[in-house]
Amino acid sequence: MNWVIVILTFDVEPDCPPFLWSERGLKEGLPRILELLDKHEVPGTFFFTAKWAERYQELVDEIRERHELGCHGYAHERFDKLSLKEAESVIEKAKKVLGDVKSFRAPNLKLPLEYYKILKDNGFLVDSSKALHKGWKGIREVNGVLEVPVYTTSLVTRLPWRIQLRWHKKNNRVKVLMFHPWEFVKMPINHRPDCWFGTGKKALDLLDKIIGFYKSQGAEFLTLVDFYHIYVKNKDLY
C-alpha cells in the first residue's frame, strides 16, 4: 500500500439523532473510544454538538488536551433546512461554547455550499461534511474553507472485517473515517438498522482492528486540522 494518511473522526452527539436521543454514547461510548486511541497512541478529531459539550465538560477538556475538538452544530440541526441567517446564528452559538475550533462537520453530512462562508467568517479552516460515497470528488477549497471529504460511512466500519477490508485496501491517499460514540454501545433494536446494527463491543473490536491494520501499513494518523496545515504547504502531494 502507498503512503496513507488516516484521519479518525467522531461525531459526538446523543444516540442516533433524530431517532433515539438517549446519551449512552456520551456516557459509555466516548470514554471507550478515548481509551482505545490512548492504547494505540493515535489522535482523533471529535466534532462535538455544542449543547452536549456544555453538559460533558470533562470529556471536552480531555479531548481538547489530547486530540482535536471540532464542531458538529449546536443541537444537531440539519443545515440544509435552515436559512443562511439561522445557520449563522447556530454556528455562532456553537462557537461560543466550543471556543477556538477550526474543524467542522454538519449533521447528516448536509451543508449547502454557500454556507461555507459562514464557517470561514467564524474562523473555521477545514470542513468534512461531504462524502466520496455521495459523489464528492477530492480535496478542494469551497468559499474559503478546505473540504476534506469523508471516505466511508460508519455503517461500512461496522461490517464484518473480511468485507470492510476492501475499503481499507483501496489506494486513496487520505482516508477520513467517520464514527459516532453511540456505535460503541449496544443499541436496542429499532426501526432504523443503521442505529443498532453491529453496535457495542463488536464495533469497538473493529475500530481496534482498523487502527491496527493502518498502523501495520505504516499509515500516518493526523487530526483534521493538522492535516489542513500539512496540506496547505504542499497541495500537489494529495
Q: Which residues of the shown chain bind Zn ion in the complex (CB under 5 A)?
A: 11, 13, 107
Rounded Cα distance between 79 and 63, Å, is 25
Q: Minimal CA–CA distance to 43: which of 214, 167, 157?
A: 214
The cell for 194 is 443503521
Nearer to Zn ion, 25 or 214 (CB): 25
- Which residues fall within 8 angstroms of residue 211, CB to CB, at 6 or more apart? 8, 36, 37, 40, 42, 221
For the bound state, the minimum distance from the C-beta of residue 73 to Zn ion, rounded and expressed in Å, comes to 8
Q: What SS3 class is residue 210?
A: helix
Task: Please identify, using beta-carbon distances, which residue of 11 and 147 lies nearer to Zn ion.
Answer: 11
Residue nearest to Zn ion (CB): 11
Nearer to Zn ion, 13 or 23 (CB): 13
User: Nearest approach, Cβ of 165 to Zn ion (angstroms)?
Assistant: 26
Least spacing, CB of residue 168 vs Zn ion, in Å? 23
Smallest distance, Zn ion to C-beta of residue 46, A: 12
For residues 107 and 214, which CB has a smaller minimum distance to Zn ion in the complex? 107
Kindly tell me which of 11 and 23 has the beta carbon lying closer to Zn ion: 11
Note the helical H segments in the chain.
24, 30-40, 50-55, 57-66, 84-98, 116-121, 161-168, 201-216, 224-233
Q: Which is nearer to Zn ion, 13 or 77 (CB)?
A: 13
Q: Which residues pair with 211 in a beta bridge?
A: none
What are residue 10's DSSP bridge partners? Answer: 46, 179
- For residue 19, the minimal CB distance to Zn ion (Å) is 11
CB of 82 to Zn ion, least distance (A): 15
